[in-house]
Structure 1
Amino acid sequence: MSTTIALLEELVGFDTTSSQSNLALVERVADRLEGLGARVRLSHDDGRSKANILASFGPQAPGGVILSGHTDVVPVDDQNWSSDPFRLTERDGKLYGRGAVDMKGFVAACLAAANGFAVADLVRPIHIALSYDEEVGCLGVPRLIDDLLAHEEKPALAIIGEPTGMRLGDRHRGFLGFRTRFEGKAAHSSDPSAGASAIYPAADFVGFLKSVGHRAGAGIDQATVNIGRIEGGSAINIVPSACEVLWEFRPVTPQDADETELLIAAYLARAMPPEVRQSTRRHVHVPPLSATGEEPALVLAAALGGIGPPFAMPFGTEAGFFQAAGMSAVVCGPGSIAQAHLPDEWIERSQLDAADAFLARLAGWASRR
């Protein structure tokens, strides 16, 4: 059994579903990396039930590279698994387990590669960054980046190891999630004029969002809008006093995000009946990753064995956070996103072998004078 697969077996054994603490895994990984001589920092969430890991090898100098992954996984509830999801199982060259591909496979490869990072004569630092709560909106990454910039020199490059089949992902849309609440006045439905329905303006708002989404079109390279949930009212014979709409849009560029948010805010400001109040709260913000040509991170990842040509990813990652912080970012990792989040999630041994070779070449690059 390779070191990477042994580490993946250990990582899969930790239930780090986003609703759970990840601290048991964090403590185990931090101990391993500290034992190899890394400078290890933890940054916790407000409740101190979860933590990011930042482990740095080599000099405290600018111009290094960060390897970014996440420790949390999606739930297995209501999924029909043929084996224990939190026990790595191999069948026909495929390794099954929750998080095997998304993305504990890449994390395991980074931890295995850390043995080489520790003994290499690095002239450029290599940072391993593992965040919490990526699956519920990349909640840990901003805090991780803040901690990185406060205590280490800023890396020049970021490689995010989400599963791309080791292909080079250079762009993806962002994700902004909102909760808009409408509050009116309850009344007996025999005299609706005595109240103020919250559902009517909510329904008009949904129609407006649909028109924005239709106007924008659909597809990886176009902004989209979606209404995910509507909840309001209590009984058929009561004028509803409250209604809530859960909605999101996915911008291609930061400019798309700003323009769409202003358009929707302007509608809400002008369209509310005087007797209805509305409040909108943004609860998720994942910035897009924008392609800017010959990105240094893209060039490096290609030299390390990433497969071109670069492509637009249909899913979001934390790459946009690193790009927004001034680091060149690319997404390249083992396994297929098509296997992620499903029952019997799996990753091929050959993909982990490719990740091992990629990261071994990275140690050589970081040691080159």
Structure 2
Amino acid sequence: MPEAEKSTMSLLENAKSHLKDLVAFDTTSRYTNRPLIDHMAAFLRGYGIEPVILLDETGEKANLIARIGPADVPGVVLSGHTDVVPALEKGWTSGPFDLTERDGKLYGRGSCDMKGFAACVMAMVPQLVAAKLERPVWLCFSHDEEVGCLGAPAIAEWLAKREVPPMLAIIGEPTDMKLVTGQKGKIAMRCHVHGTSGHSSFAPDHVNAIDNAARIIAMIAERAGEIAENGPFDHDFTVPHSTMLATMISGGVATNVTPDLCSFTFEIRSLPSHDARAELEFLKTRANSEVLPRMQEKCAETGIEWEEIFAYPAMGDNTSSEGFAFFRDIMPEWSGKVSYGSEGGVFETIGGIPSVIVGPGSIRQAHKPDEFVEVEQLSLCLAFLEKLAAKISEPA
């Protein structure tokens, strides 16, 4: 829809129109997000805002950063990711990239996670530009959050280098428009166990890779149980302790061949107070001292290989920060802390920017067929953003 037409629409209808535009871009993480970023950039230029575009090393993925308001005072980040998970599952009753409204719900891939927030921010741009803000709003939209928060570090680093960095980041992940003040970090790993193969009738002569991978997986499960029993704990989280588990496994070529390779993935989701790197090193040390020697007694060429897939940091409780204090009176109802990931920890750890999570939609509707966001949630988000705009229009 032409922007001239959108200018005559209500704020909510404007947001719905922007959401339809955004959902139409298939930004599944394996594809480029450049067309969507170009669309956002063109929209912002229409209001005299020249965005910064940060490309990844391939040139196929892009982050967008734009400032509305002055640069010489600390402001607020409104952050979202542009990528979505695949929409290949059965069960869609309408096209996943064709936003469809039914019974007060807007269906489409990314409508909830998290293009709904981006659409609300875009709908607010005319109002933010006209408000003559006393503090800036930084619009930040990243690539590849769904596959490990790969784009956000570049944004956080760029913001940290500003003469006056932002005072708070609001991550628009779906929280039912309630305030979330903590998020777990994650390390995703792949372990390759290299054994020896041969006809399974001579199994005692071989180093069975699956058997030895199973021993390491048992160590992960054992340690997970210890953490669940002994902590550390933070009962504000949906799951009040860190977790460890194996998630995928592959190995073997035939029923009568001893497997010489077994690979499995595992993850550590950690509380902000729990050192996930120390847990990983503990596991490696134990595997290398208890499993590896038994393997190499039979064959010195066997081994255990560790591969990090991705990692992102936890987000701590920033409610005591100066930035949060400034915005405290407009914050919605608190709903605790979450065990899933977001870019909040990246902004906090890499950018030094205190962060919270507030956004439209329910995480229970994300990553599934017929993903939706309720229209009422967009209304609540727009009302929150209008309060934010009024707050930062006050004298700094």
Give the TM-score normalised by structure 1.
0.94
- Structure 1: stretches of 5+ with no match in the other structure: none
The percentage of counterpart residues that share the same residue type is 36
Q: Which amino acid aligns with 2:390?
A: G
Q: Which amino acid aligns with 1:340?
A: A
Q: Say if 1:168 and 1:302, in contact at 8 Å, map to a contact too.
A: no
The 5-angstrom pairing of residues 1-369 of structure 1 reads 2-150=13-161, 153-217=164-228, 220-253=239-272, 255-271=274-290, 272=292, 273-274=295-296, 275=299, 276-304=302-330, 306-324=331-349, 325-369=351-395
| Greater CA drift, 154-163 or 294-303 | 294-303
SS at the partner of 1:191?
Answer: helix
Q: Which amino acid aligns with 1:258?
A: R
- Structure 2: stretches of 5+ with no match in the other structure: 1-8, 230-237
Shift of 1:173: 1.3
Deviations for 1:30-57, whole angstroms, at most 9, x for unmatched residues? 1111222224111122211111111111
Q: Say if 2:318 and 2:355, in contact at 8 Å, map to a contact too.
A: no
Shift of 1:64: 1.2
Q: Say if 1:221 and 1:312, in contact at 8 Å, map to a contact too.
A: no
Shift of 1:148: 2.9
Instruction: Give the match for residue 5 of structure 2.
Output: none
Q: Say if 1:287 and 1:320, in contact at 8 Å, map to a contact too.
A: yes
Shift of 1:85: 1.4
Counting matched residue pairs gives 368
Deviations for 1:241-280, whole angstroms, at most 9, x for unmatched residues? 1111100010002543133122112112212132321111
| Greater CA drift, 309-318 or 225-234 | 309-318
Give, in whole Å, the separation in 2 of the partners of 1:153 and 1:36.
24
Q: Say if 1:302 and 1:308, in contact at 8 Å, map to a contact too.
A: no
Deviations for 1:287-330, whole angstroms, at most 9, x for unmatched residues? 111225534454455422x3223411232211011111311110
Q: Say if 1:64 and 1:126, in contact at 8 Å, map to a contact too.
A: yes
SS at the partner of 2:333?
Answer: strand
Give the TM-score normalised by structure 2.
0.88
Q: Say if 1:254 and 1:287, in contact at 8 Å, map to a contact too.
A: no
Deviations for 1:87-114, whole angstroms, at most 9, x for unmatched residues? 1111121111111111111000111111
Give, in whole Å, the separation in 1 of the partners of 2:16 and 2:326.
25
Shift of 1:164: 0.7
Deviations for 1:100-148, whole angstroms, at most 9, x for unmatched residues? 1111110001111111222222222210111111111111111222233
Q: Which amino acid aligns with 2:249?
A: I
| Greater CA drift, 246-255 or 327-336 | 246-255
